[in-house]
Amino acid sequence: MYSDFKVISSYYDALYVNDREYAPEAAKVKELLARHGAPSRADLLVLACGTGGHIPYFKDDYHVSGLDLSEDMLDLAREKFPDIRFHLGNLIDFTLETEFDVMICLYGSIGFVKTEDNLRASMKRIATHLRPNGLALITPWSTVEDFQDLIVVDAADNPDLKIARMEQVRLKEPKIVEVTFHHLLGKNNDVTYHKQSMEIGLFSREEYLSAMTDAGLKIVEEYTGTDVRGGAYIGKRAAG
């Protein structure tokens, strides 16, 4: 799995964490979880939590903790949320000493597992850490059926940091997407350039569903609305 977020972590929040997107997404996620029986004040683990960008939208409703592969991202998350417990680990083989009522993986971060074997391993780890009737909500990083090459253009204009973002998203080989970041960073009257490429796994709808089902998660909903980026697959662990 990819874990080198050292440079990007330093400006990740300024560029990617956006209340206009995160707030309605979190509201819909909470609605979906409640619909399928998530208890009040559930123990919720945010998988691939990064710098904790989604934490503010869940911490007042659940007992929240986070897990991420990048120590750089987690350092920032711990600084922002000293009362939240964060775990260092990857989605493929993480082992924690507790179980959860809910586990969520947003923003398509599941794609960083890269291969179908890793996807299946990840779903097994998720199911293992869920309590009976626990819920897993997974947002895909696009799907084989829906993916298209594209160029993303965006900018952030803050008083102390200005960012121009262009990202090339292309199918590098069957079922592997390459994302190349081109970021111009303006700070202290200086402009620097950062380029970085990441490979992300591209899975079919059936591969997501079968990985969850084979791990022991019953699919209770496939959400296809636009409030949650990429939609969501929701699975429930059997009661017994």
- Interatomic CA distance for residues 200 and 219, integer angstroms: 24
Is the pLDDT reported for residue 239 higher than 90? no
67 sits in which H/E element: strand 63-68
- Interatomic CA distance for residues 216 and 153, integer angstroms: 40
What number is the average pLDDT over the span 133-156? 96
Is the pLDDT reported for residue 47 higher than 90? yes
Q: Residue 158: helix, strand or coil by DSSP? A: coil
At 5-19, the pLDDT tens digits run 889 999 999 999 988
- Interatomic CA distance for residues 9 and 53, integer angstroms: 11
At 165-209, the pLDDT tens digits run 999 999 999 999 999 999 999 999 999 999 999 999 999 999 999
For residue 5, what pLDDT is reported? Answer: 86
Is the domain of 22 the same as that of 139? yes
Is the domain of 36 the same as that of 93? yes
Domain-embedded: residue 1: no
- Return the residue matching tokens 């799995």: 1
Is the domain of 115 the same as that of 226? yes
Question: Comparing C-alpha atoms, which of 215, 12, 191 is closest to residue 119?
Answer: 215
| CATH code of 161's domain | 2.20.130.10
Is the pLDDT reported for residue 223 higher than 80? yes
For residue 115, what pLDDT is reported? Answer: 97
User: pLDDT category, 3, cuts 50, 70, 90?
Assistant: low
Is the domain of 56 the same as that of 164? no
Give the total number of structural domains in the chain: 2
Question: Comparing C-alpha atoms, which of 146, 143, 147 is closest to residue 206?
Answer: 143
Domain-embedded: residue 135: yes
Question: Comparing C-alpha atoms, which of 142, 139, 222 is closest to residue 176?
Answer: 142
| Residue 39 to residues 105, 132, 212, Cα–Cα distance (Å) | 18, 12, 21
Is the domain of 66 the same as that of 44? yes
Is the domain of 187 the same as that of 214? no
Is the domain of 188 the same as that of 207? no
Tell me the residue length of the chain: 240
Is the pLDDT reported for residue 80 higher than 90? yes
**How much is the mean pLDDT over the chain?**
95
What number is the average pLDDT over the span 70-77? 96
Q: Residue 14: helix, strand or coil by DSSP? A: helix
User: 156 lies in which domain range?
Assistant: 150-201
User: pLDDT category, 146, cuts 50, 70, 90?
Assistant: very high
For residue 6, what pLDDT is reported? Answer: 87
